[in-house]
Amino acid sequence: MVPKILTVLFAFCLAFHASAQVPKNFEYGPRPPLSVFDPTGFLNPQLAKSISDPLTKIYQKEKIDVLVVVLTDLAGAPPEHVAKRFAQAWCTANIHAVVLHVPGRKDSPWIVPAGKLLEILNPKEVLKSLEEAQRRAAKEVTEPDKVKAAATEAADMLRYWTSNLINHSEQVQTERSQWIQKATEKARFRKMGLLLLAASTIPLVLGASMLILFLKNRGPRSFPSRDLQPRLGAPYSGGNFAVVKIGAPDL
Amino acid sequence: MFSDGPPLLPILDAVGIWKDADIRKIEAARGNVERRFPQIKWRICAVNLPAETSLPLFGFWLLNACPLNPEETPSDRSWTILLLIDIRSGQASITPGYAAESCLSDDEWQKVLNSMATYWQAGKTAKAVVRFFKSSRSELQTAWKRYKPRRSHR
């Protein structure tokens, strides 16, 4: 029985220890002034500042937030989960990333982007960019350099996406304006076409009426017959007085 | 009284005033009017009558005395209009058959005859007759409209 209790106690302690490393209700408190959170002191202060200063400038100018977090252990949690917890607690920009490093881990550092703008991007493109950025950062020799490179790569990646989004947005605006212009022009041409059609109908109708009248009037004519009253015993004609002097021809 | 007349040809040039080309022009003009008014038959005679001969009287005698042509019926003759031109007196007359009398009045026929004068005096005798036919067609068209049956609107 005692060994059982001890096993349970040991497991509980391990879990507690692990849970102490996982940020629940953000036990790390408010975000530090620097963009680098390194409670373990893995990065020397100079290096930490050299990483943090450019990231701070980028955030001030472009509202792109990159946070570097160095932890000793993730306690079995996936890196993305841990990184996102930090992002949720400390990042408010529309696009941000957490560069998470656990010293000694060969697959570290991890770059985890997040933010509302990420939802607009193509997931395949995001994954491809992340893999390339992490591969480039991993080429550095020392771990601190890898962290610095990963931070730089993360910042560049987010800036690239943001500018692409802006360009895309402008392109969409332009295309939309062009579409509206085309639609307006089409509507105008359609209106003109209808007016022309209406205007041309009048001469067409007139022309058709005249043609019908002309065709109607082309046929032979006949006068009504009447009872003939012969005069002076003449069988075919009673004579009349239609005579004029037309003069002599000049032959 | 009405016998022993000569055959009444469509165009009788007793004075040799028209050439073949003139005859063809006159025939064409005549055909044009006959197509529009097929009832009416036309006869044209250019003659040189003795002095003091009454042209209307001569026309009256000619239309009644000439025998019917082989293809002519009495109805055709009564629908005939005879244009008579006397070279000696410089006169032209119209003699209509009984049926054709009602088409135009004497005044209207005189108007048609007067339309010939200008060309006739200029020596364009065939053209004068063509003019006569054109004027006749116009006057007959106007007269026909008076007789045209109208639709009644209830």
User: Has residue A97 got a pLDDT over 70?
Assistant: yes
H-helix or E-strand spanning residue B67: none
Per-residue pLDDT band for A33 (boundaries 50, 70, 90) equals confident
Per-residue pLDDT, averaged over B58-73, amounts to 92
Whole-model pTM: value is: 0.51
* pLDDT at site B63: 93
Per-residue pLDDT band for A17 (boundaries 50, 70, 90) equals very low
Specify the amino acid at residue B47. Answer: V
Question: Nearest CA to A236 among B33, B113, B66?
Answer: B66
Per-residue pLDDT band for B116 (boundaries 50, 70, 90) equals very high
Cα distance between residue A26 and residue A91, in whole Å:
13
User: Has residue A15 got a pLDDT over 80?
Assistant: no
B123-150 pLDDT, tens digit each: 999 999 999 999 999 999 999 988 766 5
User: Has residue B65 got a pLDDT over 80?
Assistant: yes
**Preferred mutation among B60, B88, B89, B106 to probe A, highest tally of A CBs within 10 A:** B60
H-helix or E-strand spanning residue A68: strand A64-70
**Cα A82 off chain centre by:** 31
Distance from CA of A236 to the nearest CA of B (A): 5
Question: In the beta sheet, which residues pair with residue A69?
Answer: A37, A100
| Cβ neighbours for B130, distance < 8 A, ≥ 6 positions apart | B25, B26, B28, B29
Q: Is B80 on the interface with A (CB under 8 A)?
A: yes
**Structural contact between residues A137 and A146, judged by C-beta atoms closer than 8 angstroms:** yes
Interface of B with A in 88-117 (CB under 8 A): 89-99, 101-103, 106, 109-110, 113-114, 116-117
CB-CB neighbors (< 8 A) of B64 in chain A: 234-237
Higher pLDDT, A165 or B138: B138
Per-residue pLDDT band for A185 (boundaries 50, 70, 90) equals very high
Across all residues in chain B, what is the average pLDDT?
A: 91
Q: Is B122 on the interface with A (CB under 8 A)?
A: yes
- Rounded to whole angstroms, what are the CA distances from A48 to A27, A45, A59, A198, B132? 22, 5, 16, 78, 121
Question: In the beta sheet, which residues pair with residue A68?
Answer: A36, A99
